[in-house]
Structure 1
Amino acid sequence: MNANDLGNGAKLLEGTIVFQPLALMVAAWDGDRVTPGIKHYLGVTLTNRGDQDAVVQVRLESPSELLQQWCVQPEQWLALSSNKSGELTFCVEVPGDAVPQWLDYEVIARPQAAYADHYLPPTRRRLQILAPEITETTQDPTFSLSPVTTPDRPEVVQPGIPILVELLVENRSERVDRFRLECTGLPEDWGIQITYPREVSGLGLMRADDSVGINPGDRGMIQVLLQPPPLPLAGSYLPTFRLASENDPTLGVLGLVYLRVEPVYQLQALLLPMQEQVRDRPAEFNLQFTNLGNTDRQVEVSLTPLKQPGPCVYALPTYAVTLPPQSVAQLPLKATPQRWWVRPWIGGGKVYPFRLDFVDPDQQPVTPAIIQGELTWLPRPWWQLLLAALAALGLVGALAFLVWWFFLRPPTPPQVTEFAVEDSQYAEANGDMARVRWQIEQPQQIKTLKLTGYSPDGDMLSGPLVYEFVDGQLPAALEPFCTQQKTLLTCSQIRSDAFLPGKYVFELTLIPQGRRSTPVSLKSSPVEITAKPAPTVTALVPRSLFYREAAPGKPTPAEQAIPVADQNGVRLDWAVTMPQDLAALHLVGRDQDGRMVGDRWYEFAAPGQLPEALRPFCSLDQVLICRNVPTGLTAVGDYRFELQAVSATSAAKTEPEPATTAKPKTTEIVRIQPQTPQILSFQINGREAPAKVLIPVSQGQLLPLVQLSWRVQGGSTTRVELAPSPGNVPLTGRVNFPLSPTASTTIALQVTSPSGKPLTRSVTVEVFNPNPPDPTAAVTAAIKAAAAAARPAPSPSPAASPSPTPSVPKPGATPSDSAPFGVPSPTTPDRLSPSEQPPQFNN
């Protein structure tokens, strides 16, 4: 056994015993005796006398495997608060067929957590398994033991002296039987010799003595010699004798002999010095314990210093030692003298005596009970004395230097040890100003500090800021930012007057006190103040990419699904970031060739205040979002829209920088398509014009004027032409048309639009003589007229209204001559031709 098995950490001893916070007590409910088939209960009580909570693992351990088989839960845990106790109960279930014997085991407690370094010695226990109760019959064999022992009056065993046990066997059956004897329950180092009586066979030969034969009603003697070792372990022993019958192998007769070995107490202690004379390391001793007895011994050690010249720390791994029989344990003892300055310079050194006291908790003797020892702290070597002399000379020199330093030395000029900007980049959007920091030694010698900001090209951009130190006192402007010690001035977060965007290099100029002083200048690394981001149009989307012209009339089914470009024109949605810096929004409309067709300005009178024209359509927050904003562009054509955000900064500048001006946002092409033209009506003399009209004109009668009227549905790009004359006419009109006396006249109404095919309606007007001189000629003329009237007219365009069936006027009918002849008059006289009006925003 070595010292590492005795504890889990070193404890310091200075004449006192270290306090043990945990206490263990073990008690058996049935007195450590149990009959086979009965449960044995063992109670373990733990007490926490410390000031911290404790967690302890308790386990039953035995060299025999029977304990592991009989105890279902050999390991348990217990948590205890400070100054509390708790109990654990272990149950050992002894089976009914257990052989009488002694079962040795240990109760081992291992503290955890806060008390993991504390050691609790194991508690040894011995459980006696008694013989089972057997019901005998009158026919069963019996035997008696000599000497007669009981649990209360066992046979005392002397070390090395054998014990003779005699068994008198009686055969009570009616048959000759042979018996054999078995002895169990003793340790392996005990000797067992069984002697049977010798028997002679019928031929005079001796039989082997491995059993004894007994006639019915007769008796036989068996002798057993038990030889203990020279020093058996102290305690109780229970050898069990089992008599086996040859006639009845299932029969087993048991007998017990109770033996007791008295304890022998012999424990020796010895202090072995390993290094008792030391210079600069601890003294080392070995405390050796030898247990020459036959029982476990426990020794508590206490150390007491004796008239020591100075403090000394003694260290032992543990204060208690447990030794099994016939074992040796060693404890390393270390002693370290304290206060290095009291070590002697010359002489024989200092002696530190101490005393070790050994106490057995069971009041058993320890030889010797007291041991005295000592260690010697040797004097210093000669070279340390030389070093001390040199140190004394150095001390004198140091004192001379200090006198010169504090009284004769000229004042040290101030020196800038650090000058830098607090950050390499600032943002104008945050209202930041460039800040600097510096550290200056000897601030009491400062006269003036000057801070100036330059561009990388050397142009002055800020400052100079001048700080005057009057009588070495810190200026009031620097007090919130500086801490001044006796020889060091530290300033941080010093504000400059540089707040405009750009790059700066700051220069700190220090002017010391005195006439012959030289200014000192240091420059910082470049710092940049970034301009705040300009408002940017992030989205510009038209509500629809297709519109139809707002024109009178009913649209076609296909046009009804397209939004109308009414007086508000094309509508837009947009989003603009940084609206708080907006000065204006410029909306521009361009045609397909890129020419501007109109623009609008939305000016912001103040940050966060929407223009009057945008209030119904916009919401202002972190982002300006506008929906369904009218542009007023209603003219037919293909267009693109551009939206430019103008910031307040760029608006204030006469020439804004291109880098800070965001590009305008452009939409996709938006098309306003014209209305699909339709010929709603084309009449001649108040009736829908057929393909051909015959007008009777008697010979010598004046030719009448034909009245033409029309009505066309179309937009601003719709063109209406009446051929052969007068050419271009309005969408709706009426005109008197002269007839040719010799030939037929074809009148055509043609409608054209840029978005579709032209539409045409025509009518042929022919005059004839209703009273021809020749009846045959008249009949022929009538037949021709009827054939011409029966000929189908050309189909008009799908958009034109269906023409009524042409009718021939009655002879003698004359058209109305109330309409004047000439250029047809438009239905809206003050309207210009659509080709003369450019596309534009409606205001």
Structure 2
Amino acid sequence: MNANQIADSTLTFHPITVVVSAWDQNRTTPGTQHYLGVTIANRGDFDAVVQVRLESPTDLLRQWCSRPEQWLALSSGKSGELTFCIDVPGDALPQWLDYEAVVIPQGAYADYYLPPTRCRLQILAPEISETAQDPTFSLSPSTTPDRPLMVQLGSPVVVELIVENRSERVDRFRLECTGLPEEWGIQVEYPRESDSFGLVRLNDSLGVNPSDRGIIRVLLQPPPLPLAGSYLPTFRLASENDPRLGLLGLVYLQVNPVYRLQAQLETVQDQVRNRHAAEFLLQFANLGNTPRQVQFLLKPKTPTNLCTYDLASDRVTIEPQAVSQVPLTGTPQRWWTRPWFGSGKIYPFQVELRDRDLHPIAPETLQGQLTWMPRPWWQLLLTLLAGLGLLGALAFLIWWYFLRSPTPPTVVEFAAEDSRYAEANGDMARVRWQIENPQQIQTLKLTGYSPEGIVLSGPLVYEFKDGNPPAALQSFCTPEKTMLTCSQIRTDAFLPGKYVFELTLTPKGRRATPVILKTSPIEITAKPPPTVTALVPKSLLYREAASGIPTPAEKAIPVIDQAGIRLDWAVTMPANITALHLVGRDQDGRMIGDRWFEFSNSGELPKLLREFCEVGQTLICRNVPTGLTTVGEFRFELQALSADQPATAVKPKVSESVKIQPQTPQILSFQINGREAPAKLLIPVAPFQTLLPIQVNWRVQGGSTTRVDLMPSPGSVPLVGRVSVPLSPQGSTTIALQVKAATGEMLTRSVTLETYDPTRSKPAGTPSPTGAIAPPKSMAPPTGSPGLTESPAPSGSPAPSGAPSPSVPIGVPAPALDDRLAPSEAPPQFNR
């Protein structure tokens, strides 16, 4: 605001008035509703729309008030009322709830400021019904809302709680104090007790005998200058015998206000030169404990048309223990009245301060002044210099048009159009220049050098005739009378590398000196090499393709097919790919095979990949077969090779581990002479009877890494087979079938064959005769060592591959020999 507005402003008329009133005298209890009425009157000449909202530094107000913001429209001369409901929950603790009613006019009164109305709601302690045996306590000193305890600055507040145990048992009590600001100190002192040894120790609780009393002492230490107002500390006494019982007590504290406000006019710049504004700061320091609202009026002591003042605001609110500043500027007017000599012209002013609540301010009036400094001494010579300048200008014009030599050309600008170009876009380096006086140009030479000084481009020479550019530059240049501007001039530099271009300007005349300028380094980047951005196996776990019924856990795992492990990958810059190299490695890092995919033409897919890949901005291949079906754990590496990079410089992309797990082995059957083998089998042998061999049949489900051994002989055998085992005339024979998986898991089935003489007594603990079997009549005695026989196999079990029986199926392997490699020992391959 200017000086006129500051001097003429009044504080008496208020077009919008606000009255805030509570229905229950700002006191309520938990579980009740508190109503606040806001009455607004429009005494102005215009219609008004007013926004009213309740604001609080805590979130309790928005939790308890469903509509903290309301609007009211008032015609001129009308009034209205808004009602706010604060629903206090039943579990609310006794406390003071501080909040403000903020009224913001809109429309025609949008610039009118209404100070917020501060409100304080006291939540009282709920009434608790007591029984005859419930403990009680009383507070000393006793306070009420009408008779609070006055807090003396710098002195602690001592509160004593007298606890009475009215029960028939010893009880122990603990005290908790809440409801005070964090800067207040709270110290709870329990009586000291002596132990069995007579030592005095500190307690964290108060023990009270039945029908006895105890005292707890509490020290409330306020800060050096607490904020003025009412405080409501809440004491909650907890009983150890009855944790659900919580006794509450309140102490009403009152801190008297301290009014101590200091005002000062601080000078930032009080001397004005060249019509710059003088700067001041109205600084207010609130050393009290209550907020202060100060209004000020600026009164200049000189006519208002000689100097104008600008005050940022006409009022300020200073919080307790805070400092506020209001900028003030002053600007002298009428530049022709500025003094020529002396110490300057002084413009005094004063600022009158007034507290809104008429509290004291020291001082109440601030004096200040600004000085308009005299003109500088050199302005006295302006008239003389103006005459001399006129003569000089006349002499200069004579020299310019009749005596001076032609002005040589000057290169105003010479630079590259861009600092970086890309070979992939077919870019070539371009330069621009701007030259004054092009009529004096004879030749221009453009040469490109490497940073080491080797010529890489040009030189390109342009001959000028009569100041006109040659035909090679006419499409790039805009000739003017005194300036030649050329842009986007193509050079012959298109290969990758770094360039520094040099422009050599040769002026007309025999003794003219060439002008040489250079650009900053520019770079033509090579085509980016192709990069493998993704190499992802289609599945990280497969199971071996083998005959038999899989286990329930194996059914959820995909079966490896003839295509083997499949891969997905993505490669950038497919146009620059010359080959893709796929390498497979086992879990020890040994290479087990590789595949090359050659790209004959730029971006053309090989035949092996056309079915699985798509070419766009990126080469994307899905479900590419590798042919790797061997059991084991493998990783894959993929390299994207280009003509510009050697294979050793390309870092391959490594996939995650892919595992082909073997089929879980199972013993489907283990038979002796066509019957499932028990744990022990008795065979009757009469005296002088010829012992015939026992036919052993087995069927094992497993994969290529499953190893089957028949002990004690013949050792390694196929998954399905049959052998004849001779019997010992005396004693017992144990036959064991061992199945070992690649994971180290082993399955064993065994049977003990024992012969006995039926004419003698039966051995103790032997099975019944139904458990004994006799050799089949069709079996012939063995002619050599145990091995495969030609007798027919039992139903459901295939005959061994060496038997001539026509019922033997084709392809059943013979028993394994000792010099044959196990399937798990054969190296996996995927490039055949």
TM norm structure 2: 0.46
Highest CA radius of gyration, 1 or 2? 1
Higher RCO, 1 vs 2 (CA within 8 Å, ≥6 residues apart): 1
